[in-house]
Amino acid sequence: MKVIVGQGSCGVATGAKKTADEFEHQIKEKGLNIFVDKTGCIGTCYLEPIVDVYDDEGKITRYVRVQPDMVSEIVDKHLINGEIATNLEISEVDKEFISKQKRIVLRNCGLINPEKIEEYIAVGGYEATRKVITSMTQDEVIEEIKVSGLRGRGGAGFPTWFKWNAAKQSPGKEKYIVCNADEGDPGAFMDRSVLEGDPHTLIEGMIIGGFAIGASEGVIYVRAEYPLAIHRLELAMEQARKNGFLGKNLFGTDFSFDLRIKAGAGAFVCGEETALIASLEGERGMPRLKPPFPAQKGYWQKPTNINNVETYANIAWIILNGGSAFGAMGTEKSKGTKVFALAGKIKKGGLIEVPMGLSLREIIYGIGEGIKNDKEFKAVQMGGPSGGCIPVELIDTLVDYEHITKTGAIVGSGGMIVMDESTCMVDMARYFLDFTRKESCGKCNYYRIGTKRMLEILERITQGKGKDGDIELLEELAIKIKEGSLCGLGQTAPNPVLTTLKYFRNEYEDHIYNKKCTAKSCKALLKFTITDKCVGCTLCAKKCPVNAIKGELKGKHVIDQDLCIQCGKCEESCKFNAIERD
> Would you state the pLDDT for residue 154?
85
C-alpha–C-alpha distance, residues 84 and 527, integer Å: 52
- 102: helix, coil or strand? coil
Helix/strand/coil (H, E, C) string of 546-566?
CCCEECCCCCCCEECCCCCCC
Sheet holding 415-420, edge to edge: 350-355, 337-344, 415-420, 377-382, 388-391
DSSP β-ladder status, 415-420 and 377-382 = antiparallel
Whole-number pLDDT of residue 185: 87
Can you say how many angstroms the Cα of residue 89 is from the centroid of all Cα atoms in its chain? Answer: 27
Write out the H or E segment, with its range, that includes residue 219. Answer: strand 217-223
Q: Tell me, what amino acid is at 271?
A: G
Q: Where are the domains positioned within the chain?
A: 2-92, 117-327, 337-420, 425-514, 526-581
Closest of 203, 175, 205, 191 to residue 305, by C-alpha: 175
Distance of CA 298 to the CA centre of its chain: 27
For residue 266, what pLDDT is reported? 86
Fill in the DSSP letter of residue 356: T
Establish whether domains 2-92 and 526-581 are of one fold. no
Superfamily classification of domain 2-92: Glutaredoxin (3.40.30.10)
pLDDT of residue 184: 86
pLDDT of residue 536: 93
Return per-residue pLDDT of the chain as tens, 582 residues: 999 999 999 999 999 999 999 999 999 999 999 999 999 999 999 999 999 999 988 899 999 999 999 999 999 999 999 999 999 999 999 999 999 999 999 999 999 999 999 999 999 999 999 999 999 999 999 999 999 999 999 877 899 999 999 999 999 999 999 999 999 888 889 999 999 999 999 999 999 999 999 999 999 999 999 999 999 999 999 999 999 999 999 999 999 999 999 999 889 999 999 999 999 999 999 999 899 999 999 999 999 999 999 999 999 999 999 999 999 999 999 999 999 999 999 999 999 999 999 999 999 999 999 999 999 999 999 998 989 999 999 999 999 999 999 999 999 889 999 999 999 999 999 999 999 999 998 888 888 999 999 999 999 999 999 999 999 999 999 999 999 998 888 999 999 999 999 999 999 999 999 999 999 999 889 999 999 999 999 999 999 999 999 999 999 999 999 999 988 899 999 999 999 988
CA dist., res. 16 & res. 29, Å (int):
20
The CATH number given to 526-581 is 3.30.70.20
Largest CA distance in the chain: 87
Which amino acid makes up residue 79?
A: L
Q: Residue 8 has what pLDDT? A: 96
| pLDDT tens digit sequence for 133-170 | 999 999 999 999 999 999 999 877 899 999 999 999 99
CATH dotted code for 425-514: 1.20.1440.230
DSSP code of 363? I
Helix axes 190-197, 199-213, angle to 10 degrees: 100
Cα–Cα distance, 381 to 340 (Å, whole number) = 12
Q: Residue 555 class from Cβ within 10 Å (0-12 exposed, 13-18 middle, 19+ buried)?
A: exposed
Cα distance between the two ends of the chain: 58
Question: Where on the phi/psi map is residue 15: left (φ > 0), alpha (ψ -120 to 50), or beta?
Answer: left
User: How many CA atoms within 13 Å lie on the side-chain side of 391?
Assistant: 12
Of 391, 398, 458, the residue nearest 419 (C-alpha) = 391
How many angstroms separate the Cα of 537 from the Cα of each of 556, 576, 579?
9, 10, 13
| Strand ranges in 165-204 using DSSP code E only, listed in sequence order | 176-181
Render 456-480 in DSSP notation, one character per residue: HHHHHHHTT---TTHHHHHHHHHHH
For strands 217-223 and 350-355, give the pairing: unpaired
The contacts of residue 478 (CB under 8 Å, 6+ apart) are: 454, 494, 497, 498
State the pairing for strand pair 558-559/388-391.
unpaired
What pLDDT was estimated at residue 486? 87
Contact 352, 367 (CB under 8 A): yes
| CATH class for the region spanning 117-327 | alpha beta
Across 525-540, b (16+ Cβ under 10 Å) vs e yields bbebebeeebbebebb
Which amino acid is residue 342, in one-letter code? Answer: L
Please state which architecture CATH assigns to domain 337-420. Answer: Roll (3.10)
Residue-wise burial string across 67-93, b where 16 or more C-beta atoms lie within 10 A, e elsewhere: ebebbeebbebbbeeeeebeebbbeee
E-strand ranges in 387-535 read 388-391, 415-420, 528-530
Q: Phi-psi region for residue 80, left (φ > 0), alpha (ψ -120 to 50) or beta?
A: alpha
**Three-class SS state of 10:** helix
